[in-house]
Amino acid sequence: MVLRLASGRIAVGILGVIALLAVLGPIIAPHDPLEGGTDILASPSAAHWLGTDYLGRDVLSRLLDGSRVSVLGAVQVALIALVVGVVPGILSVYLGRPFEWVTLRLADTLIALPFLVFAVAVTALLGNGIPQAMFVVGIMVSPLFYRVARAATLSVARSPYVEAAILAGASVGWVVRKHVWVKVLPPIAVALANTTGVGFVVVSSLTFLGIGVQPPAPTWGGVLAADLGYLSFQPWAPLAPTALIMATVWACNLLADAIRDVTGEAGRALLNTRTVHAAKEAR
């Protein structure tokens, strides 16, 4: 469906390349991403295509090697937000008052919780590591997803067409699958695209607390943070990690828009007219 739109094809293409990097990156890296050298802060050359960093490590290798951790982290954040935010958000409309009340108060609590305190507490309880760090981020963004999903569900739950389905004997599951999900998906897809971008940056910002990715292990966000410290020597250096993060976030946003366009009523109408035009031209 998404592939019928040009923007959808571009987005899927870029995300496909990123996924490929995540799988193959550590294998095709030309140098050891952790091995330093005497040649520090070097400009791009045949040996080091993107130069070296402040410890003489090959930047290209560090970006390639860090792609798996970065992408997996962002995906994990998105999945946690979906499960912890979107699912209760939809169900809060249908499972009755007690469930609604409890989940609403939990969402309020999470919004009020200071991020760093929560991060430190989780690390103390579950130990230090990337999954734990991404768990923290996922939980912290889930109230947003809860709210968005709940608002979208509420807006359709009392509509006459849902009542018509109920009068035909539809179960809650049927109503959610056939009517609610399509209305919830577009705003969720947009929020998800944004969150993925935030995820990359947050992974590196947690590093300074000693949480999540431990130096010297590379991530895109980590490489970017390190480059920013040496701007006066290599003002161009942040461009490479920035380009990677931006391309991913942009592709996510593009995909979100494409999903919105093909699932929404406007998009369906658009595709219909295109099909009609195509049919006319074929004649």
Partner 1 sequence: MSPEPVLAVTDLHVHYRRVHALRGADLTVAPGETVGVIGETGSGKSTLARAIVGLVRPSAGRITIAGQEVAGLRGGGWRALRRRGVVQYVFQDPLRSLDPDLTVEESLLEPLLIQGRPRRAAAERVRELLERVRLDEDLLGRLPGELSGGQRQRVTIARALATEPRLVILDEPVSALDAANRVRALEFFQELRDAGTALVFISHDLGSVAGVADRIAVLFQGEIVEEGPTREVVNAPRHAYTRLLIGSAPTLRSARVARAEREELRELLRTNGGPA
Quick one: which of 65, 78, 232 has its CA closest to 142? 78
Rounded to the nearest 5 degrees, what angle is found at the Cα of 49, between the Cα atoms of 43 and 54?
45
- In the complex, what is the shortest distance from the CB of residue 186 to partner 1, in angstroms, rounded to a whole number? 10
Q: Is 251 buried (19+), middle (13-18) or exposed (0-12) by CB count in 10 A?
A: buried
Least Cβ distance, residue 280 to partner 1 (angstroms): 15
209 token code pair: 């607390």
Rule CB under 8 A: which residues touch partner 1? 159-161, 163-171, 174, 178-179, 182-183, 263-265, 268-269, 272
Pick between residue 124 and residue 283 the one whose CB is nearest to partner 1. 283
Q: 75 or 170, CB closer to partner 1?
A: 170
| CB-nearer residue toward partner 1: 6 or 164 | 164
- Residue 52's identity, in one-letter code, is T
- Of 81 and 156, the one with the shorter C-beta distance to partner 1 is 156
Question: How many Å apart are CA 245 and CA 251, to the nearest integer?
Answer: 10
Q: State the nearest-atom distance from the C-beta of 253 to partner 1, in Å.
A: 22
Structure tokens at 89: 């958000």
Widest Cα–Cα separation across the chain: 76
CB of 173 to partner 1, least distance (A): 11
Residue at 123: amino acid letter? T
Kindly report the backbone phi and psi dihedral angles of residue 170, in degrees, each rounded to the nearest multiple of 5, phi listed first: -70, 145
Minimum gap (Å) between residue 184 Cβ and partner 1: 12
Nearest partner of 55 among 34, 29, 30, 32, judged by Cα: 34
Strand partners, 58: 52
Q: Which residue number, 127 or 169, has a Cβ lying nearer to partner 1?
A: 169
Minimum Å gap between C-beta 168 and partner 1 is: 4
Q: Which residue's CB is nearer to partner 1, number 21 or number 180?
A: 180
141: nearest Cα among 221, 98, 84, 97: 84
